[in-house]
A and B are shown apart, each in its own frame.
Chain A
Amino acid sequence: MTLDPVARAAIVAALGPDDVVDDPVQTRAYECDGLTGYRVRPEIVLIPRDAEGVARAVKACHRNGVPFVARGAGTGLSGGALPVADGVVISLARLKRVLEVDPVNRRAVVEPGVTNLEITAAVAAHGLYYAPDPSSQQVCTIGGNVAENSGGAHCLKYGFTTNHVYSMEVVLPDGELVTLGGDSAEQQGPDLRGVFLGSEGTLGITTKITVRLLRTPETVRTLLADFPSVAEAGEVVSDIVAAGIVPAAVEMMDTLAIEAAEEAVHAGYTVGVPAALVVELDGPIEQCDTEFAQVKAICDAHGCTRLHIAGSPEERAAIWRGRKAAFAAVGRISPDYFVQDGVVPRTRLAEVLGRIADMGDEAGLRVANVFHAGDGNLHPLVLYSAAAGETERAEELSGAIAELCVELGGSLSGEHGIGTDKACSMPKMYGEEDLAVMKRVRDAFDPEGICNPGKVLPTPRLCGERPGKYRPHPLEESGVIERL
């Protein structure tokens, strides 16, 4: 099956040849996002220059029944921007203006191709910043953040993208340009902005975003602490929470992750320790000081073997460089690896780590762990060698870890999204009826099913599901949910 020539001509004409890429060599650059295992070459790539261009592109696709996929920087880790064969990719790379900075109302209006960090750069002079900080913030775009409802290390205290967006201008799958959300938290009727945020590009394309900005905190205190075991480090996190402290961030790394990060960026982590915690507090000085003293005491009470307090912004940056480099750094200790993303209730961290270690042993593979310990969001990195034929085993282990998270009462994804990668795992987390109602939402926005099809929700074509007899959901078996 190839794209109908009439449809092709209409879609190309919608923007004009300067904004179209359809040379098969060039379109190959768009065949995958950060999840490089899945690749599909799109038929046409459209690169509109403004919101009206996006609307024209979508209208042409809609009129001709051609599926389209929006794409930002392509840093997504779940195949959310994977093209559809014989379909169109609409790149937002040219929509990258900061349209307005409003320091009085603490907000900015930006186009979707602006990177996460560029927002903060544009408003920093006013003492403001944009809070969500995914590790890829230097390159990932705000449009992609909206699609994925991206988090970051500081979302324990400050929340996710959804908590920092007032409104979006959106091109609906039929090409209509509408605004979702409003100028204040007071909104009219059901929160369409909220359901659109995190819908992974399946409900439309964002063309303008009004983000909420925060005043930069008066002070920031960061410490790096080593512990004799992951369990002890976990206890520290529990005690911090029990003390009524909401840290800006609490990150944990295990021995393999520390080794990799240290080898890559020499950030001052202790190689060989079983676990390290990064704890950061921010806020008014008096408040921060009293709580930071409490955190130090809690670390000491749990056998902390080394406590390093960042004494300058440079030292703080070094601690974060180590943490944020961990993903990529694993490439130094293993030829290949999968990045997993799952969530468990925070109190089950020690249990899930024990089970992951056992599963790794059983599979004969190493697993490095980096995670947002404050909110139970794990990023196990499954190390393998494709050359040694370990790919399939590693993929299975990685998938099993995500599903283990669900079994423990958590989620398949905390921030990377479902995309293509986990669509077929969704029945592990949700029942048939849950997914059927989610499909109703999708159908309400996109009755023709042309907007980023094949993502988020499992389809028989994608997953080879066959209707079978009823099986109880794992959460039903564990008594977490009730089903009728």
Chain B
Amino acid sequence: MTLTALKPASLKEAREAVLDTTGRISIAGAGTAADWGGRLGPVDAVLDTTGLSGVITHNPGDMTVSVHAGTPLRALQEQLAEHGQHLSFDAARVAAGATVGGLVATADAGPSALVHGTLRDLVIGTTTLLSDGAVVRSGGHVIKNVAGFDLSKLLHGSYGTLGVLVEVVLRLHPVPKAIGTVVVECGLADAARLAGEVLASQLEPTAVEWLSSGRLLVRLDSTEEALPARLDRLTRLLGDGASVASGSSEASGQSGAGADVWAEHAALTRGDGGAAVVRIGVKPSLLPGVLEALPASTVSAGLGTGVATVSVPGRAVAEAHAAVHAAGGTSVLRCRPADLGAPAWGPPPSALAVLKAVKQRFDPDGRFGPGRFDPWEIS
């Protein structure tokens, strides 16, 4: 059986492609998270969204932008930077060309989620194509809006199982005038203690992350005038081992002083080539304990968010799910060795019946993204 390749360049073409094709469809963006979640079951067609690309409207004064969902976020950020604006979002795979739609569908997030939240907090409107050809718009072009059900939330983390994101409206923030990062070389236990002190202070860090290379990173977004004094206070709070990061190579995909340590963070989050990469989220206070117990080769850990990404041997995936679940958290497999049979998800949430009912109403024939939520049997 040959796989049909669909690459629409407009909403109209996307709708026709879905209606003119029979059978199951995999929705793909730039392919930076093709393995994430459950292993994709047999499909008849692949719908490539990268032809749906570019800014639709950018209203700098309103700090909103609407884009075609296949737009690479990196390209969007470059365009927005000309206006001193950006999407406050820094997931590691943005640098690899991930699309806006793909990032929403996989609920990805980076270190600054501590302050700015995940994309569910930054998306203010969506246009979505369902498998029966229905086109639904939700939200709008204004930041504040409570009219109607917020369907964009359902698409966040839907892994291509509910609909094709076609357009996305985002709220923007000003690019910080100055960014500084303080680094402390330390192990996880010390990092957790220091993170607790920083978070209890009023220094307002934008990100607090520990890396398995033995570093705690604390980032401040600031005005230029205020940055030196704020960094000074932060350095003093963190003690003798703390210093302000200075390295900034172009290749890191980040900008400003301290970009190199964040490039290292992104690399660790992408994971260790041959290993399985598991994303976990627990209460922040429980995170160090959960991490200590895992046979992880790489770790990036948000000590304020409780969200970490770890590389573990394939045989340890089931154990990782169990440990996270026991701590009351959630986990999902991101990258996997080709022959790994381990489940992508831990035990299902208590509202599994609602997830199934939503899937049934949105995609009754189970056309989109079969297998992505296995072993929960949603799709």
Find A185's partner among B285, B305, B353 (CB 8 Å cutoff).
B305
Find A441's partner among B121, B151, B353 (CB 8 Å cutoff).
B151
Contacts of A345 in B (CB 8 A): 59, 61-62, 64, 141-142
Assess the B373–A189 pair: CB atoms within 8 A.
yes
Find A186's partner among B62, B155, B174, B307 (CB 8 Å cutoff).
B307
Q: Which of B23-75 contact A (CB under 8 A)?
A: 57, 59-64
The residue in chain A whose Cβ has the minimal distance to the Cβ of B124 is: A411
Q: For the complex, what is the distance from the CA of A27 to the CA of B229, rounded to whole Å?
A: 61
Find A183's partner among B159, B329, B361 (CB 8 Å cutoff).
B329
A-facing mask of B278-298, CB < 8 A → 1, else 0? 011111110000000000000
Assess the A286–B229 pair: CB atoms within 8 A.
yes
A442 on the B face (CB < 8 A): yes
Assess the B64–A191 pair: CB atoms within 8 A.
no
Contacts of A180 in B (CB 8 A): 349, 351
Task: From known contacts A189-B349, A343-B142, infer whether A437 and B147 are also in contact, taking CB-CB under 8 Å.
Answer: no
B154 on the A face (CB < 8 A): yes
B-facing mask of A163-180, CB < 8 A → 1, else 0? 100000010100010111
Assess the A443–B361 pair: CB atoms within 8 A.
yes
Q: Which of A440-454 contact B (CB under 8 A)?
A: 440-445, 447
A34 on the B face (CB < 8 A): no
The residue in chain B whose Cβ has the minimal distance to the Cβ of A242 is: B61
B145 on the A face (CB < 8 A): yes
Q: Which of B112-120, B179-187, B268-276, B311-319 is near enough to bind chain A?
A: B112-120
B-facing mask of A403-438, CB < 8 A → 1, else 0? 000000111111111100010001001110111111
The residue in chain A whose Cβ has the minimal distance to the Cβ of B222 is: A287
Contacts of A102 in B (CB 8 A): 283
Task: From known contacts A191-B120, A346-B61, infer whether A199 and B226 are also in contact, taking CB-CB under 8 Å.
Answer: no
Assess the A151–B144 pair: CB atoms within 8 A.
yes
Assess the A195–B305 pair: CB atoms within 8 A.
no
Assess the A284–B144 pair: CB atoms within 8 A.
no
A344 on the B face (CB < 8 A): yes
CB A236 to nearest CB in B, in angstroms, measures: 13
Assess the B135–A484 pair: CB atoms within 8 A.
yes
Number of A interface residues in the complex (CB < 8 A): 98
Contacts of A433 in B (CB 8 A): 134-136
Q: For the complex, what is the distance from the CA of A334 to the CA of B105, rounded to whole Å?
A: 50
Chain A CB within 10 Å, residue with most, of B146, B348, B373:
B146
Assess the B148–A148 pair: CB atoms within 8 A.
no
Find B144's partner among A197, A372, A482, A484 (CB 8 Å cutoff).
A372
Assess the A192–B350 pair: CB atoms within 8 A.
no
B358 on the A face (CB < 8 A): yes
Find B147's partner among A195, A291, A426, A484 (CB 8 Å cutoff).
A426
Contacts of B203 in A (CB 8 A): 284
Assess the B158–A190 pair: CB atoms within 8 A.
yes
Number of B interface residues in the complex (CB < 8 A): 95
Q: For the complex, what is the distance from the CA of A106 to the CA of B199, rounded to whole Å?
A: 9
Q: For the complex, what is the distance from the CA of A18 to the CA of B367, rounded to whole Å?
A: 51
Contacts of A440 in B (CB 8 A): 361-362
Assess the B204–A148 pair: CB atoms within 8 A.
no
Assess the B226–A284 pair: CB atoms within 8 A.
yes
Assess the A411–B140 pair: CB atoms within 8 A.
yes
Q: For the complex, what is the distance from the CA of A200 to the CA of B339, rounded to whole Å?
A: 46
Contacts of A172 in B (CB 8 A): 351, 354
The residue in chain B whose Cβ has the minimal distance to the Cβ of A150 is: B146
The residue in chain A whose Cβ has the minimal distance to the Cβ of B121 is: A163
Task: Give the secondary structure class of A's interface.
Answer: loop
Q: Which of B257-272 contact A (CB under 8 A)?
A: none
A194 on the B face (CB < 8 A): yes
Q: For the complex, what is the distance from the CA of A79 to the CA of B135, rounded to whole Å?
A: 29
Q: Which of A197-219 contact B (CB under 8 A)?
A: 197-199, 215-218
Find A184's partner among B204, B229, B282 (CB 8 Å cutoff).
B282
B223 on the A face (CB < 8 A): yes
Assess the B134–A127 pair: CB atoms within 8 A.
no
Contacts of A291 in B (CB 8 A): 223
The residue in chain A whose Cβ has the minimal distance to the Cβ of B360 is: A444
B328 on the A face (CB < 8 A): yes
Find B354's partner among A182, A197, A411, A444 (CB 8 Å cutoff).
A444
Assess the A184–B144 pair: CB atoms within 8 A.
no
A155 on the B face (CB < 8 A): yes
Assess the A409–B140 pair: CB atoms within 8 A.
yes
Contacts of B62 in A (CB 8 A): 345-347, 376
Q: Which of A275-316 contact B (CB under 8 A)?
A: 283-284, 286-287, 289-291
Contacts of B329 in A (CB 8 A): 182-184, 186
Assess the A189–B157 pair: CB atoms within 8 A.
yes
B137 on the A face (CB < 8 A): yes
Task: From known contacts A185-B109, A186-B281, infer whether A149 and B146 are also in contact, taking CB-CB under 8 Å.
Answer: yes
The residue in chain B whose Cβ has the minimal distance to the Cβ of A405 is: B142
B-facing mask of A26-45, CB < 8 A → 1, else 0? 00000000000000000000
Assess the B307–A159 pair: CB atoms within 8 A.
no
Q: Which of B311-334 contact A (CB under 8 A)?
A: 328-330, 332
Assess the A244–B174 pair: CB atoms within 8 A.
yes
Assess the A190–B136 pair: CB atoms within 8 A.
no
The residue in chain B whose Cβ has the minimal distance to the Cβ of A483 is: B135
Contacts of A186 in B (CB 8 A): 107, 109, 279-281, 306-307, 329-330, 332
CB A204 to nearest CB in B, in angstroms, measures: 9
B196 on the A face (CB < 8 A): yes
List 19 contacting pairs A-B, 8 Å CB cutoff, sorted by A.
Answer: A105-B285, A151-B146, A160-B144, A179-B351, A182-B281, A183-B282, A184-B305, A186-B329, A186-B332, A189-B376, A215-B204, A217-B204, A344-B142, A434-B136, A434-B138, A440-B361, A441-B154, A456-B148, A456-B149
Task: List 9 additional contacts besides A178-B351, A182-B329, A190-B162; criterion CB under 8 Å.
Answer: A104-B196, A184-B283, A185-B306, A189-B158, A190-B355, A197-B150, A197-B153, A376-B62, A435-B148
